Amino acid sequence: MKHYTFINGSVTSPLGFTANGVIAGVKPQNTTKRDLAMIVCEKPCAAAAIFTKNRVRSDTIAVTQQHLQNGTAQAVIVNSGNANACNPDGREKAERMCALAAEALGISADDVIVASTGVIGQVLPIEPIEKGVSALKHILSADGGTNAAEAIMTTDTVKKEWALQLTLGGKTVTIGGIAKGSGMIHINMGTTLSFVTTDAAISAAMLHEALVEAADVSYNMVSVDGDTSTNDMLAVMASGLAGNEEITEKNADYALFLEALTASFRSVAKKLAADGEGATKLVICRVSGAADLQAARTVAKSVVCSSLVKAAMFGADANCGRILCAVGYSGAEVDVQKIDVSYRSAKGEILVCRNGMGLAFDEVHAKEILLEKEIDILIRLGDGEAEAEAYGCDLTYDYVKINGDYRT
């Protein structure tokens, strides 16, 4: 039974939050797209974040980590068009962005989360951001979440925003958020860039625990192209304005909050994978019968990461050999003579492998199944009871085209 309901909304749906996005002109050749956003709460929030494990990192990561050491934040400032990574003045620019936001909002710079996304290794121009912040402070609103979602997009083709509600202690609690991500996605911590808000009363320690638990089975199971970004950040702020009794331990209310947070993250994980650069299909690998959870996750992620599997999905080729190959090199301990593989979509389901051996099957029906926009690869291992799912997409000609001229 679900204890939450998705609603129409965004990062400003929880009580206390406003946001917006503007055309600042971070990329001089692009003056028609929003590229600077702020998210603000009317009061200091419990806050937590998780970050990329790439050793090459944007300086925005270090600044945000420092600011969140006390478990408190009140605002987010984020630009697209430039990653502010691998720059000699990256730290200075990240701190300047925080100072600009703090001055405009009348808060401490230490309470600002800063993030950037875009081209790596190019100096971030600060002048457009200075002008953009001045414009933003006058238009922050409860209706500005969608504009903020647009402002953090790079090669994304659709905005990614969401909201849901649940009840904690008789109080209605809302969780909302925005995310960006289309390429350079092989998430290894939390996500590309994602900013989550809630009006739940929850301690910073428990917020961090929930963030890690929810991300492990959602964001961290997404791969578009095998590349982990230098800028990955998943940050959450909790205003406490819903009025529920504060969650300070892993009790029943924590479990309900975690359930809702995980559901919201899984919905976004699918959006990120479906919007992979050049992608035409969402591919979900669902593994069951694994010896343990780690084996299930390892197998599922290995399959969605396989370039050959991704290419086969693009061509609607029901080649089970590519699936078995990805399972075999995943590193998980599996009995290869127990593996079953099926493909499933809105057009039906077809078994193509039993006990590790390919089967004769209706190729025409298989192609019909694989021509759909959302495809499940079902793998049954026969080694235990654990299960997991991972999210990916097909590999198309357009992926190479997009990334062949990304800077231009």
Task: Report the catalytic residues.
Answer: 191
Q: How many CB atoms lie within 10 A of CB 404?
A: 8
The residue count of the chain comes to 408
Tokens of 134: 């001045």
Cα-flanking dihedrals φ and ψ of residue 279, to 5°?
-70, 145
Cα-flanking dihedrals φ and ψ of residue 144, to 5°?
-90, 5
Tokens of 127: 């002048």
Q: Minimal CA–CA distance to 318: which of 378, 391, 270, 275?
A: 378
Question: What is the C-alpha to C-alpha distance for residues 215 and 187, in angstroms, rounded to an integer?
Answer: 10
Question: What is the C-alpha to C-alpha distance for residues 366 and 282, in angstroms, rounded to an integer?
Answer: 17
Return the amino acid letter for 226. Answer: G
- Residues 383, 335: contact at Cβ < 8 Å? yes
Question: What is the C-alpha to C-alpha distance for residues 163 and 147, in angstroms, rounded to an integer?
Answer: 15
Instruction: Give the SS3 label for residue 144.
Output: coil
- Residues 153, 180: contact at Cβ < 8 Å? yes
- Residues 35, 79: contact at Cβ < 8 Å? yes
Between CA 372 and CA 382, with CA 376 as vertex, the angle to 5 degrees is: 155
Tokens of 30: 């692009």
Burial code (b: 16+ CB inside 10 Å, e: under 16) for 90-108 equals: beebbbbbbebbbebbebe
Helical H segments across 184-239, by residue range:
204-216
Return the amino acid letter for 165. Answer: Q
Question: What is the C-alpha to C-alpha distance for residues 22 and 79, in angstroms, rounded to an integer?
Answer: 10
Instruction: Give the SS3 label for residue 32.
Output: coil
Return the amino acid letter for 262. Answer: T
DSSP for 182-194?
SSS-B-SSS-SEE
Question: What is the C-alpha to C-alpha distance for residues 24 and 101, in angstroms, rounded to an integer?
Answer: 14
